[in-house]
Amino acid sequence: MGIPNHSKYVIVGAGIHGLSTAYHLAVSLKNSGRGSGNDIVILDKNGIASGASGIACGVVRNNYFQPAMRELMAHSVDVWESDIEAYSYHPVGYMQISCEFMHEDIRTIFEQQKAIGYESELIEGTHDCDIYMKNLFNDWQAQNITSVLHEKRGGYANNTKSIYGLATKAEAEGVRIISGIEVKGFKRANGSSSAISTVETQKGSIECDYVVIGAGPWVRDFWSMLELPKTVSIKSKDGAVHDGIGMWTFWQLEEGVLKVDPNLFKTNDGNMPPVMHVDTDAELRSTVDNSVIESEGKMWGLYYKPDFHFGGVQGGAMPYPVTTPVDELQLDPYGPASPEWISSPEFAHMWVSALAHCHKRFESTMANFDKEPSGGVGCFTPDSFPVFDEFFENCYIIADSNHGYKMIGVGKLVADHIIGEKTPLLDPFNFERYAKGDLHPVSNSPFPWS
């Protein structure tokens, strides 16, 4: 498919952010009488759902210690719930199950969820938590649990199905999605304006009025094309300024699938369970040889859910930093020959043992771990939270810092921003927060995105 010489709106990336922005922008243009989806083109180097969105585990949750993230995710859950069928969304809920080290954080999250009307239930104390969990799962056996936050909304979506559903909705509004087009650079307008006038691709140039970049972990490359700063100065809460902080870091995300009948993991009453997330400091022993994997007092965590799309119980554990220097990392983490994102034996041992730590039913299932590629590489900002901001007058960058897939509502908010209906939900994620010291609070979770 050829490319147009001109499009009012050029969106880079046919994943969750690019497609959501395109669809919601098309609807807004039509409703306001200011245009239609015919004014929008999406470019992707490979194709729909070919990157991070296509292999996302699909968890949708509100569980954040940061108020701005919590409000943004409540908005995103509204969007997921707006078309459950098209988005292949399963509203089963979400559970954060934690040890005492995180107890105060979890209570804070619960109180603030209550303040914004997001339905959840908090159970506190070892005894009451154990009773609550065993009422759901009669084989529950996790140790050191003193709080359970049960979000009644949220759940998960099937990755590729939801992305193709979103693409179908966008195309029905007239949006044109062009695959196999790699963006190589941008040209600026002449004169005093800094605006982007042209998007350059390997198959020609497209003149445009506005650009949206929703490229997931490839955002570093577009940031570089636009000659934005490689380092930032960060003002901490005590007023100290820390210079020369790298804008991007990469983390390896390890996930996997236990190839068992998903029906093996249901609640006592035969229903599909909530998405489960456990953070604890209990001793973790191997389900194979009873050796110590994590010692008592050291935080570790996992998340998991039964998923017919994956064909088993799917989930993951804590990521770890990629040691290759940022400028040298050749980022193609989703190709079939890329060894960086094949689940390691160490991960498999830890994750299946952690499942067995939580549920007796998983004690003899190590042989069922699927050795197919899973996970990926995530591109993180200096504080591990998103940067959503407009640059050069007409270029909106969605740098999700690996929070991406669950944030389907960001595209709707970016579309509102483009047509002039700006929202305060995006304000806490502007790029200037680093220099101003308007930083998000940090939780005690072992996961960098919580």
3-state secondary structure of 147: strand
What pLDDT band is residue 314 in, cutting at 50, 70 and 90? very high
Q: Examine the domain organization and report whether 401 and 256 are in the same domain.
A: no
| Residue-wise pLDDT tens digits, 240-292 | 999 999 999 998 888 899 999 999 999 999 999 999 999 999 999 999 999 99
H helices, E strands: number in the chain: 10, 25
**Boundary (domain end) residue, out of 356, 380, 404:** 380
Mean pLDDT of 145-167: 97
Mean pLDDT of 152-157: 97
Q: Examine the domain organization and report whether 283 and 413 are in the same domain.
A: no
3-state secondary structure of 381: coil
**Boundary (domain end) residue, out of 380, 406, 438:** 380
| Closest listed residue to residue 53, CA positions, set 182, 175, 158, 183 | 158
Pairing of strands 147-151, 94-98: antiparallel
3-state secondary structure of 129: helix
The angle at the Cα of 26, spanning 24 to 32, to the nearest 5 degrees, equals 100
Q: Examine the domain organization and report whether 17 and 63 are in the same domain.
A: yes
What pLDDT band is residue 189 in, cutting at 50, 70 and 90? confident
Q: Examine the domain organization and report whether 42 and 69 are in the same domain.
A: yes
* Amino acid letter for position 148: V
pLDDT of residue 441: 87
**195 Cβ partners below 8 Å, 6+ apart?**
188, 189, 392, 393, 394, 395
Pairing of strands 94-98, 275-280: parallel
Q: Examine the domain organization and report whether 347 and 423 are in the same domain.
A: no
Mean pLDDT of 19-32: 97
Question: Rounded to whole angstroms, how far apart are CA atoms 330 and 202?
Answer: 19
Residue 186 domain flag: yes
* Amino acid letter for position 17: H
The angle at the Cα of 310, spanning 304 to 316, to the nearest 5 degrees, equals 30
Judge whether residue 333 has pLDDT over 50: no
Q: Domain span at residue 347? A: 94-152+249-380
346: CATH: 3.30.9.10
Q: Examine the domain organization and report whether 437 and 325 are in the same domain.
A: no
Judge whether residue 335 has pLDDT over 60: no
Question: Rounded to whole angstroms, how far apart are CA atoms 418 and 121?
Answer: 37
Question: Rounded to whole angstroms, how far apart are CA atoms 411 and 188?
Answer: 24
pLDDT of residue 329: 78
Q: Examine the domain organization and report whether 267 and 374 are in the same domain.
A: yes
Sign, CA dihedral 259-260-262-267, equals negative
- Residue 407 Cα to chain centre, angstroms: 7
What pLDDT band is residue 336 in, cutting at 50, 70 and 90? very low
Question: Rounded to whole angstroms, how far apart are CA atoms 26 and 36?
Answer: 5
Question: Using CA atoms in the order 53, 55, 58, 64, what is the torsion angle rounded to 10 degrees?
Answer: -70
Q: Examine the domain organization and report whether 376 and 390 are in the same domain.
A: no
**Boundary (domain end) residue, out of 350, 380, 410:** 380
Mean pLDDT of 73-79: 98
Percent of the chain with pLDDT over 70: 95
Q: Examine the domain organization and report whether 225 and 83 are in the same domain.
A: yes
73: CATH: 3.50.50.60
Residue 243 domain flag: no
Question: Rounded to whole angstroms, how far apart are CA atoms 411 and 26?
Answer: 11
pLDDT of residue 343: 62
Q: Examine the domain organization and report whether 73 and 176 are in the same domain.
A: yes
| Residue-wise pLDDT tens digits, 377-424 | 889 999 999 999 999 999 999 999 999 899 999 999 999 999 999 889
Residue 244 domain flag: no
pLDDT of residue 376: 76
Domain count, the chain: 2
- Residue 312 Cα to chain centre, angstroms: 21
| Closest listed residue to residue 397, CA positions, set 213, 223, 185 | 213
| Residue-wise pLDDT tens digits, 87-145 | 999 999 999 999 999 999 999 999 999 999 999 999 999 999 999 999 999 999 999 99
CB 380 within 8 A of CB 221: no
Question: Rounded to whole angstroms, how far apart are CA atoms 390 and 400?
Answer: 14
What pLDDT band is residue 334 in, cutting at 50, 70 and 90? very low
241 is written with which tokens? 């300024």
| Closest listed residue to residue 212, CA positions, set 77, 332, 345, 43 | 43
Q: Examine the domain organization and report whether 276 and 159 are in the same domain.
A: no
Judge whether residue 341 has pLDDT over 70: no
pLDDT of residue 252: 84
Q: What is the mean pLDDT of the chain?
A: 93
